[in-house]
Amino acid sequence: MVIKKEDQNQLDVLFLHSKPVKMLISLKKDSVRYATQVAKSVDCTYSHTVKVLDNFKNLGLVSFDKKGRIKIVKLTDLGTDIAHDFEGLQRKFDKVRVPSREAVSAKINKIIKTSK
């Protein structure tokens, strides 16, 4: 069964990508930021960052305060909670030991040799 993109949960589409998660965590570490600073901190284009931040605003995760020409981005309480959860996941992922390519290749070669 193939699920169409428009049928997927909007949160799944948004948070199963690394850049939006990095943006939330970046905003949590530095409570008041500009969109350009967020873009630079996660190595992303400004236009993509603004699009993601607009999605965050629609979901109630961030708020924008316009001061002159500058738009300040702040996490809401919900956004802070979610960013905190992602930080916890990131710490857990860091504890997972991923085997190197060489180790995986060696195991595959061993299996191939024993099956002959």
Asked if residue 38 lies in contact with residue 27, where contact means CB atoms within 8 angstroms, the answer is: yes
Residue 112: the pLDDT is 82
Q: Which of 13, 18, 7, 3 is nearest to 59 (CA)?
A: 13
Residue 10: the pLDDT is 58
Residue 15: the pLDDT is 60
Residue 97 backbone phi and psi in degrees, to 5: -90, 120
Q: Tell me how far apart the alpha carbons of residues 55 and 61 are, in angstroms, rounded to a whole number.
A: 9
* Residue spans of the chain under pLDDT 50: 1-3, 7-8
Distances (CA, A) of 29 to 41, 95, 102, 108: 11, 21, 36, 42
Q: Where are the domains of the chain?
A: 5-115
pTM across the whole model: 0.69
CA 2 centroid distance within chain: 24
Q: Tell me how far apart the alpha carbons of residues 23 and 14 are, in angstroms, rounded to a whole number.
A: 11
5-115 CATH, one of 3.40.50.620, 3.30.110.30, 2.40.30.40, 1.10.10.10: 1.10.10.10
Asked if residue 7 lies in contact with residue 51, where contact means CB atoms within 8 angstroms, the answer is: no
**Residue with the two structure tokens 């085997």:** 99
